[in-house]
């Protein structure tokens, strides 16, 4: 197998590679501060890498394989996925409806983006990262003395290093997920403008507002984005004298 991807089959190697990628992104930001795309890369890696490590150890594990081989547990897991889909779709629809105030069915790409993001901020953050962060805060004072006492010297430094590294990764991921949750409406708006809104259309109405992009609605109207603003208006597409 190609040595560049051979680590995928080994959970420990996968964890090392993903952690190294994340730490490299942090190091690049420290060495070259003020570069926007490096900061954005570090932010994305802070979310993606811990989530990937979680998948490596939980989803891609013999324990999960055993659950999927039994019919009743496989059906149960399928039910969990269906329930997640219901909550995620509701979340996406509520956010789109509260922001654009039109039927969310017109925002296919944005809905997909939000249902995917909900996996991170609605499931991974509250049920995985936050309990881990809380455990570090509450038990850190007990864990550190134990790490310094138990085992030989080399093991002590190794465990201490792993504890510090885990603390940094969990704290960074928790903060990044919180930032993602706070900025998600703005990100959803940008995704919608880039994908679900259309620059080219055949509307014949002469609008008084400077509309640059539109979403076609079911009633013959359009939802227009006012150029240079974050405002949206429902406008007629075809004038009474148009075809």
How many domains are contained in the chain?
2
Q: Answer yes or no: are the C-beta atoms of 149 and 176 closer than 8 Å.
A: no
User: Model confidence at 162, in pLDDT bands (50, 70, 90)?
Assistant: confident
- Give residue-wise pLDDT tens across range 34-63: 888 898 899 899 999 999 998 888 877 788
Among 14-18, 71-75, 150-154, 191-195, where is mean pLDDT lowest? 150-154
Residue 141 lies in a domain: yes
pLDDT level of residue 151 (50, 70, 90 thresholds): low
Q: Are residues 192 and 203 in the same domain?
A: no
Torsion sign, CA atoms 184, 178, 117, 72: negative
Q: Give pLDDT, residue 242.
A: 43
Judged by DSSP in three states, 236 sits in: strand
Asked whether residue 162 falls in the same domain as residue 218, the answer is no
Closest CA to 197 of 188, 206, 205, 207: 188
Distances (CA, A) of 180 to 25, 87, 115: 18, 18, 14
Same domain, 190 and 201: no
Q: Output the pLDDT for position 211.
A: 93
Name the band, by pLDDT with cuts 50, 70 and 90, for residue 27. Answer: very high
Mean pLDDT of 196-201: 90
Q: Which residues of 208-219 are buried (b: 16+ CB within 10 A; e: fewer)?
A: eeebebbbeeee
Range of the domain at 238: 197-243
In this structure, are 74 and 163 located in the same domain? Answer: yes
Judge if 82 and 174 occupy the same domain: yes
- What average pLDDT does this structure show over 142-146? 67
> Do 218 and 172 fall into the same domain?
no
User: What gap in Å lies between CA 159 and CA 153, rounded to an integer?
Assistant: 10
What is the full DSSP assignment across 102-150?
S-GGG-HHHHHHHHHHHIIIIIIIIIIIHHHHHHHHHHHHHHHHHHHHS
**Cα distances (Å, whole numbers) of residue 125 to 44, 75, 118:** 15, 25, 10
Q: Are 130 and 174 in contact, with CB atoms under 8 Å apart?
A: yes
Query: In the structure, what pLDDT confidence band is assigned to residue 233 with cuts at 50, 70 and 90?
Result: very high
The answer to whether the pTM exceeds 0.85 is: no
162 lies in the same domain as 220: no
Give the mean pLDDT of 110-114. 95
Name 233's bridge partners.
Answer: 224
- Same domain? For 205 and 191 the reply is no
């Amino acid at each position: 197998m190609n040595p560049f991807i051979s680590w995928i089959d080994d959970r420990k190697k996968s964890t090392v590679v993903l952690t190294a990628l994340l730490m490299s992104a942090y190091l690049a930001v420290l060495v070259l501060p003020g570069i926007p795309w490096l900061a954005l890369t570090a932010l994305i890696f802070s979310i993606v890498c811990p989530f990937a490590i979680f998948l490596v150890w939980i989803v891609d594990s013999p324990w999960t394989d055993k659950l999927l081989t039994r019919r009743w547990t496989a059906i149960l897991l399928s039910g969990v996925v269906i329930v997640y889909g219901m909550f995620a779709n509701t979340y996406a629809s509520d956010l789109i409806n509260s922001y654009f105030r039109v039927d969310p069915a017109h925002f296919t790409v944005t809905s997909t983006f939000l249902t995917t993001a909900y996996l991170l901020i609605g499931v991974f953050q509250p049920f995985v990262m936050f309990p881990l962060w809380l455990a570090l805060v509450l038990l850190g004072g007990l864990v550190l003395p134990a790490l310094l006492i138990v085992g030989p010297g080399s093991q002590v430094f190794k465990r201490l290093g792993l504890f510090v590294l885990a603390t940094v990764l969990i704290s960074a991921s928790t903060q990044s997920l919180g930032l993602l949750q706070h900025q998600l409406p703005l990100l959803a708006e940008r995704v919608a403008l880039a994908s679900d809104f259309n620059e080219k259309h055949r509307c014949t109405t002469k609008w008084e507002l400077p509309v640059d992009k539109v979403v076609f609605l079911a009633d013959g109207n359009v939802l227009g984005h006012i150029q240079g603003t974050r405002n949206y208006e429902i406008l007629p597409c075809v004038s009474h004298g148009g075809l």
